Amino acid sequence: MISFALTDEQNQVRDTLTAFAENELAPRARSADQARGAPAELLDTAWSLGFTGLSIPEGCGGGGARRSHLTGALMLEALGYGCAGLAGAALSSMLFVNPLIDLGSEEQKLRYLPAFCGETRCAASLALHEAASGVDLAGMATRAERSGTGWIMTGAKRLVPMGEGANHLLVLARASHAPGLAGIRAFIVGTDAAGVTITPERGTIGLTALGFARVEFAGVRLEGDAVLGGGDGADIRPLLASLRIGGAALATGLARAVTDFAIPYAKQRVAFGEPIARKQSIAFMLADMHIECDAMRWMVWKAAAEADAGRDATRASVLARNYVNRHAFKIADDGLQIFGGHGYIRDLPLEMWLRNMRMLTIHDAIAAA
């Protein structure tokens, strides 16, 4: 049955996080961008809202709420509206927690998830990208090879969000010769394991609040049950779908922020005797920004609803990601254009939003819905 009706809980989550984004994230966006990191006390405050543990099963100490990609997408869009960088930082642990809830074995859930249900913030992340150019996940170079009852991991991951402070990482690596994605698995790796080296990246164009890291694995020994899902490991395609939905949701929130920021400016900025918003070249640009903000949101919702219904969300999430990537960056770009020279100056957030949007529309592992 086709319906766009959110549940009461979803409305509540969205309202709470929208307020948090406006009151707590947006005012700190610029300073976090310059500091290249999120303030610890802000992350603690975000943690205290309890959203990371919301859908962790009660048996693991969590809230036991029904796991919903749509709720995750709503949270990310709401926070992304305030600041995509701080949003990603505040919810980075979900990159580890959500795949564990979805794909982890019972033993893995019981072993790792309770740490995310307490009052003390527990940092974790996910490592996907590598140094080679091009987007060919199946061709990744990081390998996990069977060794006795365990695994040995070798390789290097790049641009790992919140990598430096993370206690645990979910690391994608080639685990067998099975063709394409069938040979890729996700591994649970403690950052204190011997052979793991984490160093800060030199810098990124945007989302700098996420403090990206480079993580090297020099023959890291992992236990046999380190593979996500246990046994031979879970198919990672649902994990990839969750990442696509998460990134697209953040980008949608940021795109909406750009649009809402540009509208009052265009009405107030006068050129040739009238507000520029009364000129069709600007008014139509704003109309298109609004149109695509709507369309992007529904694409994200559809992919999330597919996942929530237990269906394979690969296709819907690829379509959503494709669509959002093509439109969200243009919105950030057009938003800057409406402000003209002021958009280029760092007093206003437009240039930062453009840099952040470039990250969101190319980096594939910023958030998990």
Partner 1 sequence: MVDFSLSDPDRAVLDGVAAEAKAGEKYARHYDDHEEEVLPKSFPEASGFPPIQQRLRGRSGHDTPMLVLQVLMRIEREAHCGVPLRQPPTALGNAALDAAGTAVQKARWGHLMLAMSITEPGAGSDTKAIQTTARLDGDAWVLNGDKIFVTNGVRCDGTIVWATVDKSAGRGGIKSFLVMKGTPGFELVRKERKLGIRASDTAAYAFRDCRVPRDHLIGGDESVPRGEREGSASYKGVLKTFNMTRPFVAAGGIGKALGAFRFARDRLAEAGIVVDVDEGPTCRSAAAQALLDIEADIEAATLTVLRAAWLASQGKPNNLEASVAKAKGGELCRSGPQRAMEALGAMSLSHDYPIEQYLRDGRITDIYEGTGQIQRLVIAREILGYSSEELT
Q: Name residues contacting partner 1, limited to 229-258 (CB under 8 A).
A: 237
Q: Under the criterion CB under 8 A, does residue 268 sit at the interface with partner 1?
A: no
Q: Does 141 bind partner 1 (CB under 8 A)?
A: no
181 binds partner 1 (CB under 8 A): yes
Q: Is 138 in the site for partner 1 (CB under 8 A)?
A: yes
Q: What's the CA gap between 138 and 180, in Å, rounded?
A: 5
The answer to whether 15 contacts partner 1 (rule: CB under 8 A) is no
**How many other CB atoms sit within 10 Å of the CB of residue 276?**
20
- Determine if 7 is a binding residue for partner 1 (CB under 8 A): yes
Q: How far is the CB of 357 from partner 1 (least distance, A)?
A: 18
How far, in Å, CA of 113 to CA of 100, rounded?
8
Question: Does 2 participate in binding partner 1 (rule CB under 8 A)?
Answer: yes
Binding partner 1 (rule: CB under 8 A), the pick from 143, 267, 269, 355 is 267
43 near partner 1 (CB under 8 A):
no
- Angstrom distances, CA of residue 160 to CA of 89, 163, 210, 257: 11, 5, 9, 25
CB of 327 to partner 1, least distance (A): 8
| Closest listed residue to residue 200, CA positions, set 180, 190, 220, 214 | 214
Tokens representing residue 22 in the block? 């406006």
180 is a site residue for partner 1 (CB under 8 A)? yes
- Interacting residue with partner 1 among 205, 270, 287, 345 (CB under 8 A): 287
Site membership for partner 1, residue 345 (CB under 8 A): no
Residues in region 67-106 near partner 1 by CB under 8 A: 70
User: Which residue is it, tokens 């009238």?
Assistant: 274
CB of 310 to partner 1, least distance (A): 11
**Segment near partner 1 (CB under 8 A); pick from 45-53, 80-88, 132-140, 189-197:** 132-140
The residue from 11, 147, 268, 322 that contacts partner 1 (CB under 8 A) is 322
Report the candidate in 217, 232, 223 with the shortest Cα–Cα distance to residue 147. 223
DSSP state, 271? E
Helical (H) or strand (E) element with 145? strand 143-147
Q: Which is nearer to partner 1, 110 or 362 (CB)?
A: 362
Q: Give the residue from 56, 67, 75 showing the smallest Cα distance to 16.
A: 75
Nearer to partner 1 (CB atom), residue 3 or residue 149: 3
User: Identity (one letter) of the amino acid at 140?
Assistant: M
What H or E segment, with its residue span, contains residue 297?
Answer: helix 280-308
Q: What is the number of other CB atoms lying within 10 angstroms of the CB of residue 275?
A: 15
Residue 229 DSSP one-character state: T
Q: Exactly one of 175, 320, 332, 368 binds partner 1 (CB under 8 A); which one?
A: 320
Whether 60 contacts 111, CB under 8 Å: no
Q: Is 151 or 301 the residue whose CB approaches partner 1 more closely?
A: 301
- Give the amino acid at 10: Q
Residues that bind partner 1 (CB under 8 A): 1-7, 10, 70, 134-138, 180-181, 237, 263, 266-267, 277-278, 280, 283-284, 286-288, 290-291, 294-296, 298-299, 301-302, 304-306, 309, 314-316, 318-320, 322-323, 326
